[in-house]
Structure 1
Amino acid sequence: MLRESDIDSLNTHLASISQENQRHNENLQDLLNQFKNLLEDYSSLKSDYEEVKEGREKYKRQARGQDRNPFVLVLVDGDGYLFKEHFLKAGSEGGINAARELSDSIRELMHSTMGMQADQCRIMVRVYANILGLSKVLARAGMVGHEARSLSPFTSAFTRAQDLFDFVDAAEKKEGSDFKIREMFRLFVDLNQCRHIYFAGCHDSGFGSLFTPYRGRGDKITLIKSASFHREFEDLGLPIRELPSVFMSTPLATTKPTAPAQTINTKVVTAVNGTKPICKHFQKGICKFGHGCNKQHVMPNQQLTRPADHPESPSPKQLWSGSPIVGRSQEFLFSTLPPHSLKSEDFIPINKDGDRLDTYCPHPSPDAMDAYHRRAKERKVCNSFHLSGQCGDMSCQYDHGDVSNTVIDVLRYILLQHPCSRAGACRSLKCYMGHVCQKPNCKAVKSWQCRFNQRAHTIDLNVAQWVSPSDHSDGDDDNHSSISVESFESQSPNTAFFN
């Protein structure tokens, strides 16, 4: 029989074996859990590896695809960059030749900027313009016909000439072309397939902010210089090139007159009598009190002096007998009034006071006046039809036949010598009457008889903004009628024609 000590020893040994067996089971379970976690981590890493591998293969395929079709993009604002005159006058044939010349010129630039890569790249051209408005401007310059969208044969042929060439009509919205050019630039500038962008829109400073993030990136962007190049683009650190065989090198504008320059001061002089205010209505030519007005009648630029021994107020006659009043010179009118442009076809210029301004219209040459005389003797032309392209009078008695651009220019000049009844408040795009006096050196005084009132001679001629026209057309009745040269010449010799 076992002794008590043996029994205790066996119990202790059994408990020890039981504890060891328990620890062994726990260690085994822990090992199995670790192995399970290891397998899960391995599976996750393998999945990530497969995704990365697939992404790398996809990137390689895309890179190989991009390398197969590299190209350069040429963006052109067609409203500001006009093709050479001989291209435009040739119509469809000119469009084809313009596309070929542009392609050859860009190819030469590519060799100078891209080196050996130039032969591997195709050329994509996008020209955006308001074709309707541009057709009107070019028609008045004698480069295309007077029918609506007369530029369309040129643009269609330009598009057909090359596979990746498009001349796009950006419609008649004010910022239509700008919006499309901006979005096309943003779409392609960071695309690897697009190796270079040649930008022809540097006449508009609004594009300057578009290139600010790419300052100094001459390896990606080249600016094309044309007739109207804004100085702001010179500070971008981008290469600037010219295409003299493709685009016009001079603006489409009237030749600058050679009359001597004169400076006009429109500030109203201080009255002689410090206690007597100046009559503003008199300066506008609408004072109804005449000599009985209790305010001083002083003209702009008039310097009045009063002897010390004559303290009484000067008479109206003395007020008009001050120093000579200098009218606005032809040079001043040319440099201050806005020129006839594409913008003036759709918007109306106004000054800081809200008065409407006219585009500059110089006196026609004697030959032009003779041509108008000969045409008017045959039959008087319809003003509305030949200036706006339409006539709303079904029973119009005036001529709607074809006339030369010279006759139209004379007609526009004659109408501008007749003041609009609404003056500076007119906002009709179809009003072709005058809103400011454009007669060189015309003096708004009684001895210088002029159809325009005093204000039309003294308003600020600097354009503050271009506004949209109103729907109504004030003065259309006058525009529709035919104003002859005889009625125009019936004025005083001082106000008829200036040679």
Structure 2
Amino acid sequence: MVHIYVSLDKLAQKLTQVGLLKGGYEFRAFAQSFSVNQPLFSIIDVGQGKERADYRIKEMLRTFSDNPTCKHIIFGGCHDQGYLLNLDQYKHDQRKAERITLLETTASARGFAELPNFKKTRFDSVFRYDPLPEHQYNSPVQAQVQAQVLAQAPAPIVSPPPGLPVRQMSKSNAVAPPAPLIENNPAVTASPTVTASKLVAQSTGSSAAADASWATVGKTGAGNGTISIASNNSNKKKKYIYYNEEGHRLDEPLPPRDRNAADAIDKRRDKAGRNFCNNWHLSNGKCNNGDFCNFQHAPKLNAGELNALRYKARSIPCKRVDCENFDCYLGHQCSFERDQGYCPFPDNCKLKETHGMDKTKYVRYDEDGNEEYARPK
């Protein structure tokens, strides 16, 4: 069995940008051929988002390392220190460690050389032994594409309809998004890439104060040279999801809880003898169980009572540390530790596994899939 987890679009964009592919269609064709060539060979597209591939790889390692019918595992994760913790539990168990061979491709991250009892192997005829270049170079594929571009006649210039505004972007204010997120045209020579850690957004006018601490590196915008002039409802509040640098979701603090509202829902719960349906009250009346639900639906709670119910729901841990549900009402970190610096119930806290986690906001996603990185301090 061969399982490869990858963001097809992001890797295809990178390979195209450095001149190893003509376009993303070539990589998708390769992935399809790889997956159909052998019945137990699979390339799994994990989509956009940090840690998605890591999460699945770690689960597969856990599942097969304890499976007695699995004779041997070749683990291709030596490029990432994030897997050391998952392998650490096996390093002193020689029987289990001997069933795992570490596949080295590019230079191994620090710590893998110190792991005892693990075998190591390389397949240099299959995998690259040097990292992908940061900047574009003129490969034979790219040179061929550029030659085709030069041979083409220039496209006619189409004037906009009368009355529509024409906006021109100033080059001095343009910020290049990092390579994996650019909607790249393979027929155009790309500029050197800018990584997220080096990205510094330049803001002008009154909008500078609004998001001064975040640098936008989203999929939409000026990446393809087009600007939308469609009307936009600026009054609608944008939803964001925040993650730390390890890809763990962070919760935003809730408004202060009204004690009277909290007492009111407790009394209603005790009187009915049933808890409230979080799905129905906190998800705009969405409950798949309908009249067969064992929890309370109508009448609706007022704003203060809903906020008090959210506090209760936050005490229940979400099963996904990398949760991507914008409307998830469950907890992803201990609010006591986040707000007070410590948890008064360290042993009984339902979210005690999040104690000590990095609470620094590193990246946020909006509902359109755009991602923004916090500027370095």
Structure with max Cα Rg: 1
Both proteins in one fold, TM over 0.5: no
Which structure carries more relative contact order (alpha carbon 8 Å, separation 6+)? Answer: 2
By percentage of residues, which structure has more helix? 1
TM-score in terms of structure 2 length:
0.42
TM-score in terms of structure 1 length:
0.32
